[in-house]
Chains A and B, each alone.
Chain A
Amino acid sequence: MLSIDRTTYDAIVAHAKKDHPDEACGVVAGPEGSDRPERFVPMTNAARSPTFYEFDPADLLSLYREMDARDEEPVVVYHSHTSTEAYPSRTDIGLAMEPNAHYVLVSTREHGNSEGPVEFRSYKIVDGEVTEEDVAVVQPAEAPKE
């Protein structure tokens, strides 16, 4: 199961709506081994395409260096589908290289850039095998009081 806080969930949805009709993509990093998606990192879709996404290779290196320095890993890897359902495509499955990540798919096909609900689904993709999992949206952890 993916447990994700409301603020991060909303940020992913907002990013997908903003970039529609192109696919939006990014990660939510978290402490290694924690399975806690904590740090929202929207990425640029270097492909700028409605049917494909790819992190820019230079941005990819910066992202992994930063996560390395912070002992983080990509807990969530998200992207949007803009005219099809929120289910991994054959390409998504073939290129899924993070066996520990939750692959989140958001579909903006219903409402595009406008207000309105989206499909938000999460999967494990390991060795070409897709397993859908439940998504629990939880309240953000309270900021420590001053």
Chain B
Amino acid sequence: MAIEVRIPTILRTYTEGSKSVDGSGTTLSEVIEHLDSNHPGIKDRLVEAKDGDLDLRRFINVYVNDEDVRFTGGLDTSVSDGDQVVVLPAVAGG
């Protein structure tokens, strides 16, 4: 069984229009690396360098099995087969 990664509308240009793609990895970082190897460029839309380390972009929300990863270890959040990863850009502005 794979990991299901749900892709938001704005990033479906990277997934040939797919709403959902298969993921692989044991942490969110690995899932994103794997995603980027299949859909080059998508990683850069999700993460950025902060103080020398990669971190999720401020206005990108990622949930593993409905838990916001900001509360479960961010990019180090554990992921296993059968999990669902949902990516949602913040709806925000000024």
Contact = CB atoms under 8 A, between A and B. Distances in A.
A73 B9 contact: yes
B90 A95 contact: yes
B61 interface: yes
Looking at chain B, what size class is its interface with the partner chain? 10 to 19
Contacts of A92: 93-94
Nearest to B92: A54
A97 interface: yes
A128 interface: no
Contact of A53 (B66, B89, B92): B92
B91 A55 contact: yes
Contact of B68 (A54, A57, A79, A99): A57
Looking at chain A, what size class is its interface with the partner chain? 20 to 34
A60 interface: yes
A55 B9 contact: no
Given A91-B93, A92-B93, A95-B93, A61 B9 contact: no
Q: Main SS of the interface on chain A?
A: mixed
Nearest to A25: B91
Interface in A102-130: none
B56 to A, nearest CB: 11
B91 A61 contact: no
Report which residue of A43, A58, A77, A92 has the largest number of chain B beta carbons within 10 angstroms of its beta carbon.
A58
12 contacts: A27-B91, A52-B92, A54-B92, A55-B91, A57-B90, A61-B61, A61-B86, A89-B94, A92-B94, A95-B90, A97-B59, A99-B10
Interface of A: 25, 27, 43, 47, 51-55, 57-58, 60-61, 64, 73-74, 77, 79, 88-92, 95-100
Interface of B: 8-10, 59, 61, 63, 66, 68, 70, 86, 88-94
